[in-house]
Amino acid sequence: MARGSPDWYGKRKTMINTPTLDMGELAARLGSPYVYDRRGDVMFLEGFENGIGDWATGGGGTGTAVVATTARALRGGVSAKLTAGSDGSLSALMDRRLTTSFGQRVGLTETWSGGGNFAAHFMQMSHYDGSTLRQYALRYDFTNQELQYLDENNAWVAFATGVTIAVANVSWVDWKLIIDLDNYEYVAALVGPTAYSLADIAPRSAAAATAPQIMVRLHLLGTAGGNGLLHSDAVIVTINEP
C-alpha cells in the first residue's frame, strides 16, 4: 500500500497553498493538536484525551488540584486543568518523564489558556544525561507582561517585554521552545505569530546521576487569596528541528 507522495511532489508550484506532504494536512483537518508549527518529527504527543494518569502532579497551597476536564478544550474534548493553591507556594504542576534521551535540536510545544488569579506559567524540559541535569524553560509572567527564559544561574530573564496575552479563559496560546541538546543551549522561542532568537544562551545545569531521560513540566503560579487557573490542551515533543 502506497504511503506518502511522489518525491517531486513538494517541489511543484502552487498559487494559494503549499503542497501536502504525506498525511500532515489530513491530520490537521481531522483535529490533530500538531498544527501550530509542524517542523520537526513528533516523538511524543499528549492531548489528554485519555486523562492525566501518566503524569505526576503536585503543587502547594489550599485548593491545589490537577485534573482532566471536558469543560474546556481547543482540539478534541479534554484538557488538563491546573488549579494553583491560594496560599503557600501558590502553585500547581504536572510532570511527564520520557525514558529516551536524544540529541540534536528538540522542540517543546504547548497549547494553553490562562484563567483568573493567574500570575505566571512556564513549560520546562529537564535533560538528564547520566551525570548532569540541564533545564530549559519558557515562562510568561502575566504580572510584568514579559516572556522569560531560565538562565544558567537559575534566574528568570526577560527576552520580550510589553507582551499581552489574554488570560481570562477567553483565548488559547500556542508556544514552542527549541533547544539544542548536543551543544547545551537554547535556540529559539515561538509565541503565537512571533519568533524570538535565544541563540547561544546556556541553560541551568547541575550534577545529577539520574539515568538518561527527559522530563517535561507544566507549572502554574497563582496569586495570594485566590486559586489560579490554567488549561493545557496539548503537549508535543519533536526531534530533528531545523
Q: How confident is the model at residue 169 (pLDDT cuts 50, 70, 90)?
A: low
Which range is least confidently modeled, 18-32, 69-83, 163-177? 18-32
Distances (CA, A) of 120 to 107, 148, 174, 190: 21, 10, 15, 17
Q: What is the pLDDT of residue 25?
A: 55
Residue 124 has pLDDT above 70, yes or no: yes
CATH of domain 40-239: 2.60.120.200
Name the burial class of residue 197, with classes exposed (0-12), middle (13-18) and buried (19+) by CB atoms within 10 angstroms of its CB: exposed
Give the model confidence (pLDDT) of 69-111 as tens digits: 999 998 889 999 999 999 999 999 999 999 776 678 999 999 9
Give the model confidence (pLDDT) of 177-203 as tens digits: 999 999 999 999 999 989 999 999 999
The percentage of residues in the chain with a pLDDT greater than 90, rounded to a whole number, is 69
Show me where the domains of the chain are located.
40-239
Residue 17 has pLDDT above 70, yes or no: no
Model pTM score? 0.86
Contact yes or no for 69/97 (Cβ under 8 A): no
